[in-house]
Structure 1
């Protein structure tokens, strides 16, 4: 189904509907502060496998990131980070960044690739954050890519729905998405390193 949710003050009933779908193992497409993402409950292995199937990738090779409500999940899913990195995270999040850390043992085994790392996102988008907040744990996420060679990411939710309506349970129409992905920052290297420059500008 295509579900309209406005990013300013998202409708709680609509958010509840999405959360109920995720709890049942559903897969959703939702807006972020960058591109549209496809996501599911981090605790549901079948749903994670389904996302990998839709994307045509093996779970252990998938570069999936976690969408979190705030930094409170950080300590659960990553190995301890020092105060300098934590300060940097606080000054850049919520925002268009994916920060890569060493994964803790709580990261679902299915996602533990040989690299043993995890990407964490706190998007500056109230729809995504409210879903995660009500769900009570992160959602596993991957960007929606477009086959078009010129446009890398799909931005129109109605076109995304046309393409994915038989593959996912809910496509959230939260308005046009951006077509620039998040900036990926590797926090496992010393010094930290921007490995993909996207929408976010790392300062300091």
Structure 2
């Protein structure tokens, strides 16, 4: 059964955040809130966690996983970003966007798109998500909590507990979170390509 953590939405309790992060560092898979619905998350090097996310969501090898970062300094370790793209991304973060960019050697190959060698990155605006990645000291390897056959992602911790209690190690409840997935923008090509329209305004990339 998954451990259930209640986190204050505006002032996350340090002790609780540390308990969750300790679980992640120990190989755990968590469901946690962001500014655009819940996500599944584990450490970057957690191969078993990656496989568990694939099983829960029925994903194939072409799925772009997302590195949820605390800030630009962290993001810059894992993707290559030009000055023009930097300005675009900077203007839209933190926020409900996922950006597809060329991965650096810091990213394990199993997280990259097998042909493009790209990876998704984002900097969320959600306080609890920010507290988790800040305490972890590295990005959370993440994927939207969208179950097979469902058109909308999961947005309530109680529902996640009911459906996935035996598939997860922890569920983080910080009250209300976003109800739409991120807007996904591929910035690995000369021109931006909007791959999914979601919570983030796509206008800056059109």
Same fold by TM-score greater than 0.5: yes
Aligned residue in 1 for 2:179: 179
| Conservation of the 8 A alpha-carbon contact between 1:92 and 1:202 | no
C-alpha separation in 2, matches of 1:94 and 1:196: 18
RMSD: 1.7
Aligned residue in 2 for 1:107: 107
Deviations 1:58-117 (A, max 9, x none): 4x33321110001112222112x2212111211111100001101112111221322211
Aligned residue in 2 for 1:64: 65
| TM-score (norm: length of structure 2) | 0.91
Aligned residue in 1 for 2:200: 200
Aligned residue in 1 for 2:30: 28
C-alpha separation in 1, matches of 2:49 and 2:155: 24
Unaligned 5+ runs, structure 2: none
What's the CA shift for 1:54?
Answer: 2.4
C-alpha separation in 2, matches of 1:148 and 1:176: 24
Q: After superposing the two structures, state which structure 1 stretch, 44-53 or 168-177, moved more.
A: 44-53
| Conservation of the 8 A alpha-carbon contact between 2:33 and 2:177 | yes
Aligned residue in 2 for 1:94: 94
Deviations 1:170-193 (A, max 9, x none): 001111333211111111122212
C-alpha separation in 2, matches of 1:147 and 1:178: 20
Give the secondary structure class of the aligned counterpart of 1:29: strand
Cα 1:147/1:105, change in 2 over 3 Å: closer
Q: Report runs of 4+ in structure 1 exceeding 3 Å deviation.
A: 146-149
Unaligned 5+ runs, structure 1: none
Deviations 1:30-50 (A, max 9, x none): 000001000001122222222
Q: Does 1:40 align with 2:42?
A: yes
| TM-score (norm: length of structure 1) | 0.92
| Conservation of the 8 A alpha-carbon contact between 2:57 and 2:147 | no
What's the CA shift for 1:137?
Answer: 0.6
